[in-house]
Amino acid sequence: MKKLLFLVFVSFLSGCVSPLPTPQITTTVPTTTLAIPTTTIVTTTTTTIPATTSTSTTIEPTLPPQQWIVEEGIRINEGVAPLGIKLDDGQLRMYITGMGISSYVSSDGLKFTLEKNSIITDGFNPAVIKLQDGSYRVIYNVVEGRMEDPNRKLYFKSAISQDGINFVPEKGIRFRSQGPPDYDAISVPDIIKLPDGRFRMYYTGDMFAPVSGREGNNVRTAISSDEGMTWQREEGVRLRFESMDPDVVILPDGRYRMYYTTNPPGGSKDDQRVYSAISDNGLNFTFESEVLSSGEVGLRYMDPEVVEIPGGYRMYFSEATGGPGNERTIIKSAVWKIQ
């Protein structure tokens, strides 16, 4: 975001959210078989697939109500869109958007050290998955045109790495959703691995809705059976009405909890907060509550990234102050202790 493109993107992102009605619901989970990717690089299809019907039972909650407490200090003194990956040695690697995409590492989840600046120079908003062979694939945003231009295009590309630090760009476009309902404007990917081995991507569709009459900023999904090389958009909407920055966690009881950014009902666009929604199947989400707020208009909390820690969870998030031309963003954290 120190590059002009990323400053413009983040400033525009943090000012383009509107009030929160109750999220709508859609369909249920499809099932197919995991396929291992080949070395051939292809551009993804944008065929929409139905979220096929499956047997669903209500799962009784096993976790107490959420009580998030903002921790003292700054985790990383720059950036937005944090993405945490637990390493085999127990450390936590954090990817952020700053001057391109950079990586930091921490042994305690609180003090981070820069590993490498600008591991990706032409993109932002990373989502990283570990592949079966131990390598890493990053899916990231690129923009075609200026962010302020209603005709600009937003889509996802990828890069591959053996160590999670040194990435080599892969040819082609991983996912591009042209026409309705996304209108070639997708952003902020979050990827989880499903129990059947496939990957599901949650993303913000129809980003910023520059054309009158479109809903914009809905959370939608796409599915991949080849470790992120090709994606198919799933039917339906996971969350409606200006829901952005999705981060989905699979809970110990098998449910899916989505953390996301929006404004409070009737609130100012300068009052972004973090909310949560819950689902039995990862597709049909029900609004839960607001979980994190600064309590101060102009001090915005966005881009939640939740990781499990001993005895609870830690949420990393972007704190933003100022506006276009003078915005400052840092990465902070909050903790929810269950035990």
Residue 265's pLDDT is 82
Residue 137's pLDDT is 98
The pairs formed by 151-157 with CB atoms below 8 angstroms and a separation of 24 or more are 152/185, 153/184, 153/185, 154/184, 154/185, 154/186, 154/187, 154/207, 155/184, 155/186, 156/186, 156/189, 156/203, 156/231, 157/122, 157/123
Q: Is the dihedral of CA 274, 280, 282, 284 positive or negative?
A: negative
Task: Quote the CA–CA distance of 279 and 259 in Å, as a whole number.
Answer: 12
245 Cβ neighbours under 8 A, 6+ residues apart: 81, 188, 204, 260, 261, 302, 303, 304
Task: Quote the CA–CA distance of 278 and 257 in Å, as a whole number.
Answer: 5
For residue 297, count CB atoms less than 10 angstroms from its CB and return exposed for 0-12, middle for 13-18, buried for 19 or more: exposed
Amino acid at 232: Q
**Digitized pLDDT (tens) for each residue of the chain, 339 residues in all:** 333 333 333 333 344 333 444 444 343 334 333 333 333 333 334 556 665 333 334 445 567 899 999 999 999 999 999 999 999 999 999 999 998 999 999 999 999 999 999 999 999 999 999 999 999 999 999 999 887 777 789 999 999 999 999 999 999 999 999 888 888 889 999 999 999 999 999 999 987 655 556 667 889 999 999 999 999 999 999 998 789 999 999 999 999 999 999 988 877 778 899 999 999 999 999 999 999 999 888 999 999 999 999 999 999 999 999 877 788 999 999 999 997
Amino acid at 199: F
Task: Quote the CA–CA distance of 136 and 168 in Å, as a whole number.
Answer: 10
Number of structural domains found in the chain: 1
**Domain limits at 300?**
4-337
Residue 8's pLDDT is 36
Q: Find the CATH number of the domain harbouring 75.
A: 2.115.10.20
Whole-model pTM? 0.82
Q: CA-CA-CA-CA torsion for 193, 198, 204, 206, nearest 10 degrees? A: 180
Residue 148's pLDDT is 74
**Three-state secondary structure of the chain:** CCCHHHHHHHHHHHCCCCCCCCCCCCCCCCCCCCCCCCCCCCCCCCCEECCCCCCCCCCCCCCCCCCCEECCCCCECCCEEEEEEECCCCCEEEEEEECEEEEEEECCCCCCEEEEEEEECCCEEEEEEECCCCCEEEEEEEEECCCCCCCCEEEEEEEEECCCCCEEECCCCCECCCCCCCCCECEEEEEEECCCCCEEEEEEECCCCCCCCCCCCEEEEEEECCCCCCCEEECCCCECCCCEEEEEEECCCCCEEEEEEECCCCCCCCCCEEEEEEECCCCCCEEEEEEECCCCCCCEEEEEEEEEECCEEEEEEEEEECCCCCCEEEEEEEEEECC
